[in-house]
Structure 1
């Protein structure tokens, strides 16, 4: 597997741009299945990822992170908006045109076991995309399978085993190998370490970082664990009820969060310094509101400790350059 030129400087042109992306799921009732409402899983996202960069998408369960990732790779059809990848609008592509673009766009799933066909050997699973896209014959595909298994920390002997014969960490390495074998430019990592033990999480994160340097990969890293996010990401986008409420460089987000929701997520992240146990915290109360009936105004105002009348009436815009925030009263302090 050929290494990409890692000396090449990062260009100013984004690898992928998301413009006003929406994904609504219809709620149907009655005998004729009439649509009565929609679940607004993704509600008007705008962001871009540069070549060689890792953008982390974080938030509580149910905020629309996985729906965003699945929509970007066209496992879900977008309701509205544009997905501009390498100059192609994926939201309009279908058939063979979409298949060609997908060679450079792959996904790693949260649960590697459910995403691997239990009736196929690992070698066949990894060779399948090469054969399906007619990129290699059987002999060449077999060589690439052995090579990619070595790259992700397994051996060529593992190609003859079935998925159930592997541990969780090994299965995730197989999932990474399957995403990597087509030599993509962008990989969507949909909570790839959340189902693994802590020690195995560290191994997988280190593997992802090593692969990124070796093959100049670009990641959209979806997670709710801020420890993993801090280690692997260059920038962080904080998502709440289908919208991005804050986005900026990882260091800036951790040191100077501007949105109360970001601050609450950081407060939930354990820190090793016992002297900071009594630091001021924002503690969230209640559950995330239903995306089928989101609150008016700022969607976070029902749980926000500093919400005022304007928050209940007007939806704040995502404003700022290096660190953007969607809040009428952004926080001014930082965290130690």
Structure 2
């Protein structure tokens, strides 16, 4: 069992959201009767605290369980086991009626800003719909709120009467952000919100996220494949591999002194411009990611790790302190600086 329980900055502070031994399994069904023959272990025993006002960057390869964590913590996916606490309340098994009261504080921004918006509805209706559904305002008040939100995300009032297809990708993502903000949430899961956008537009959206966080005191879980955008926006980074968190810590610690070989491989996957640094910084992984339906025994990364030893095949490593505040790694033989 992971022992990660440290909230950044203040160990005594209660986290805004806490995950305890969270597991999200998807059944594998076979045969005419669709009997369950196994499970895809997308999230497999995660313990995590998220403090109010921080941005937790969640990174890893496709299929490692990042999006499943985000959706499960919002109760958009059912948890196979474990517990989810929000503001001290256990929301794991709340009824739909009771969960509706919590949903205003928990929102999500999806990767594809086009498919997440109903193409038949006008922008004004898309943004006001959550407000009216939760009966937070009258139609007249909701219209005024839509105008305020459009201005907040950098769109003109005239956008209200237009449809999503009339906007660019970056503008559509701004609409998605405005819709997520319409219920005045405390925590927003950003599920790869800039990966489908041009690089120049990515920077604009990331700056918008930062400005909104400062102005509205938001908490983000920022999900991404690579470390570029995460480095810019996050205060803390959790690295996932095959359903497990393998390293977590302050952004500066993870980038300057990554301890897990998988984290090091993600860092060196970014383009290196300095010719003399290219060879010594290269850290190329070999082999494919094992199946999450049948993960390897011991350390799940050992089949691809250049430092793996016999112990790695037999014993699963747990998150342990590295000597830096709140910096933990799940590795029997963590990388020593300079190696």
TM norm. shorter chain > 0.5: yes
Question: Are 2:328 and 1:327 aligned?
Answer: no
> Structure 2 matches for 1:182-193, cutoff 5 A?
182-193=183-194
Is the contact between residue 255 and residue 334 of structure 1 (CA under 8 Å) also seen in structure 2?
Answer: no
Is the contact between residue 226 and residue 266 of structure 2 (CA under 8 Å) also seen in structure 1?
Answer: no
Classify the secondary structure of the residue corresponding to 1:125: helix
How much has 1:285 moved relative to structure 2? 1.1
Classify the secondary structure of the residue corresponding to 2:320: coil
Match of 2:142 in 1: 141
Distance in 1 (alpha carbons) for counterparts of 2:23 and 2:152: 37
Distance in 2 (alpha carbons) for counterparts of 1:14 and 1:334: 35
Distance in 1 (alpha carbons) for counterparts of 2:195 and 2:90: 31
Aligned residues between the structures: 327
Q: Show structure 1 runs of 4+ deviating over 3 A.
A: 271-275
> Structure 2 matches for 1:243-322, cutoff 5 A?
243-320=244-321, 322=326
Q: RMSD of the TM alignment (CA)?
A: 1.4
Match of 2:130 in 1: 129
Question: Are 2:79 and 1:78 aligned?
Answer: yes
Classify the secondary structure of the residue corresponding to 2:255: helix
Residues 201-250 of structure 1, C-alpha deviation per residue, up to 9 Å, x if partnerless? 00000000000000000000000121101110000000000000000000
Distance in 1 (alpha carbons) for counterparts of 2:63 and 2:309: 25
Distance in 2 (alpha carbons) for counterparts of 1:273 and 1:90: 49
Structure 2 portions without partners, runs of 5+: 1-8
Distance in 1 (alpha carbons) for counterparts of 2:214 and 2:297: 44
Structure 1 portions without partners, runs of 5+: 1-8
Classify the secondary structure of the residue corresponding to 1:14: coil
How much has 1:271 moved relative to structure 2? 3.6
Is the contact between residue 22 and residue 80 of structure 1 (CA under 8 Å) also seen in structure 2?
Answer: yes
How much has 1:334 moved relative to structure 2? 5.5
Match of 2:218 in 1: 217
Distance in 2 (alpha carbons) for counterparts of 1:191 and 1:89: 27
Question: Are 2:54 and 1:53 aligned?
Answer: yes
